[in-house]
Structure 1
Amino acid sequence: MSRFAVFAAPGLLAYFALVLVPIGIAIAYSLTNKDPFNPPTRWVGLDNLTSLPSDDEFLQALKNTTVIAGIVTLVTNAGGLALAVLLDRRGWFYNALRSVFFIPVVLSAVVVSVIWQTILVDDGLLNSMLRQLGMGNPPGWLSDPSLALYTVSWVIAWQGLGFCVVVYLAGLQSIPKELYEAAAIDGCGPVMRFCHVTWPMLAPAVTINTVMSLIGGFKAYDQVQVLTNGGPGPGTTSTLAFQVIQTAFTGNHIGYASAMAAVMLAMVATISVIALRLLQKREVSS
């Protein structure tokens, strides 16, 4: 027990100091009108929290965040599974492709966003190519309010795709070949083998990727800041994380921003736990 404590203590202390303490401070601030430029700080209780349901900017950010999280979860899982099935081969070529798909995961979200911004702006690479192909008025991927949110979602999903590919590949390579052989002997074709062997055996990988994608979608900030700065228009692509940062460091309303952050933390934790429980039940049944 003493050896365990010695090895665990540094990690636990770091987790306590860098995660639990800031969360506690944020929750405490959410119960005040904290504003560093307008002292003194007063206790307001639950006033900040009760104001959120009538805050149009917060509700718009909540809606946008939900849309992004849903798109990211669907795209990364569907695309990641499809690519993993295609890359589940032996050879240097497929190994190289795996590395290529994983590169965006290790890059900074800011770097990825800057690269995509040069591609997606109105006079960027993509629209220049579309004009070369004869499209006179190509879409405003980042300037059109009806497209911007989906464009941001695509960039976030694109960066997270490689992680899902690697997890699904690990799941595919852990499936015993005997199961496929037995299914083939029973007359199952490729589609039936996927439905009755591959998909059930990938249940743990589906759980990991779904929960991680949901969390990644709900905490989206860097891509929004770089690509659209919350626009175009008022709050078109603003997310909860973006709204928290803007309220705290642009508006200097630390207490109100902390209340938003507390709600965001509770939402992400609740949704993650529910998704984890439901998906783990599928693992058992599979």
Structure 2
Amino acid sequence: MLAMVCAKYRTLDDALKLREVDKPVPKDDEVLIKVYASSINSWDWDLIRGKPLITRLGGLTKPPYPILGADVAGRVEAVGRKVKRLRPGDEVLGDVSGCGWGGFAEYVCAREHVLSPKPAGMTFEQAASIPQASVLALQGLRDKGRIRRGMQVLINGAGGGVGTFAVQIARYFGAEVTGVDRGDKLELIRSLGARRAVDYRKEDITIGERRYDLILDVAGYRSVFDWKRVLNPRGIYVMLGGSMGRIGQTILAGPWISLSGGGRMGVLFHKPKREDQQFVTELCESGRIQPVIDRTYPLTGVAEALRYLGEGHVKGKVVIRMDV
């Protein structure tokens, strides 16, 4: 089978090579999936570059997984003898980051508990955009953020993969949403249900009289002390992504801010969960939310897709199709 292989930490063009590799064989508790689409996440970008250094914990000189790609959508081709729920021919989607990655390939093996049925009316491209980004958004808002109807919610990085899901999920729960991102993404953010959309290059959202009950920070590059200024005393700040320095600051300073009456501040770490994946898939199937796909690339275009992600212009998700 063909796969995009990353053998060393290098620049994108040097690191990624399209190669013919052995087709994987499912273990007893796994299924073999013919992949029709995958999608790009920031983890892929970090693992290929080996930056920040924490990404090298699994491999100092080369990525721990030679074939990256966490989000997949495809059709089950074979099943292990202990698999009970899935059968050959079933169309599925899932986050395979806990199964050794491997989404940037024509075939991948995954344990059945990470996979959900793909709705018949959903394209493989749409399905591949869901697993990681939407679950992060849902867990940040519902589980960590305790979102409720009528809340004032601010989403920083609202125009990206996680952010576009977060805006729609927050509206589903009845919150009033302010979305922050680049100016060229504001129209999209409003169209997804945000009451207010702010260009961070023109307005400092952390200065002013407006206060928020919940802040979901997808692009965490500002100090938590900046966000504390606009967080209600009983509010919750949740960091989903950003620089290691800011993540470390939130982990260390968050408890102190909470104890001093400045609201609860913490970091959400990635926790793939099939039930949450299915929750979002059902919302998509019912038309309450919709995946936002900016661009699609063939398997040969993974490097180009990652470069586009790194430029910060992506509106929603970038999807990889397996046609080469």
TM-score over 0.5 (shorter chain): no
Higher gyration radius (CA)? 1
Q: TM-score, normalised by structure 1?
A: 0.25
More strand by proportion, 1 or 2? 2
More helix by proportion, 1 or 2? 1
